[in-house]
Amino acid sequence: MRVSAADFSYKTQKDKPQSSGKEKKKIIKKTQKLNNKLADWDDDDPQAMQDTSSRWDKVVILKHMFTLKELEDDPAAILDIKEDIREECAKIAPVTNVVLFDKEPDGVASVRFSNAEGAKACVRVMDSRFFAGARVEAYIADGSEKFKKSSEKKVTLGDEDEDEDGGEAEEGKRLDQFGSWLEAGGEAGA
């Protein structure tokens, strides 16, 4: 191994190749083009627009999916209806959650999709479609409606803190009916 002092004589400014006028113009044009691109923000360009979707854009409300009488006659029907809704909607787009509001006389269910496009597609397919002999009404949730559901967890579209009158007694009655139904062997006429 040998050590010697560095020699910088061959790396001087004189040895640098001179850039021609064409190259300088090319660099200036490229710089101006980039600056114009940065300065020109097009508000109409959908790719440039921010995604300002709300959490409700992914939720579809389906009405007339069941009747309260169906749920009273067969307490396990709620699971079947929920599964049927999930299967039908999963054909359209990936579903993340299905909630049946079993105290709503209109037979309301909400379906949450993984994206807003799936929810819009569901509305196009499911609106005015027939399900169990009833014409379905489908629309994107806006978060202003509050639906009733029997459970300890308040799962509603919106913030609802107040309990409805007689809700506990009604829930107890439903649980007793369900218990009787189970003891009878799960037959529909119990």
What tens digit of pLDDT does each residue of 135-161 get? 889 999 887 888 888 764 444 444 444
Q: Residue 166 has what pLDDT?
A: 60
CA-based nearest residue to 89, from 55, 120, 135, 54: 120
Would you give the DSSP letter of residue 138? E
Q: How far are the Cα atoms of 1, 66, 76 from residue 72, in angstroms, in the given order? A: 95, 11, 9
SS3 30: helix
SS3 49: coil
Looking at the whole model, is its pTM more than 0.75?
Answer: no
- H runs (alpha helix) in the chain: 21-39, 68-73, 77-90, 116-126, 167-183
Divide the 190 residues of the chain into consecutive groups of 10 and give the mean pLDDT of each group.
82 61 89 83 54 74 87 83 89 90 87 89 87 85 81 46 58 82 70
Question: What tokens appear for 133 in the block?
Answer: 């002999």
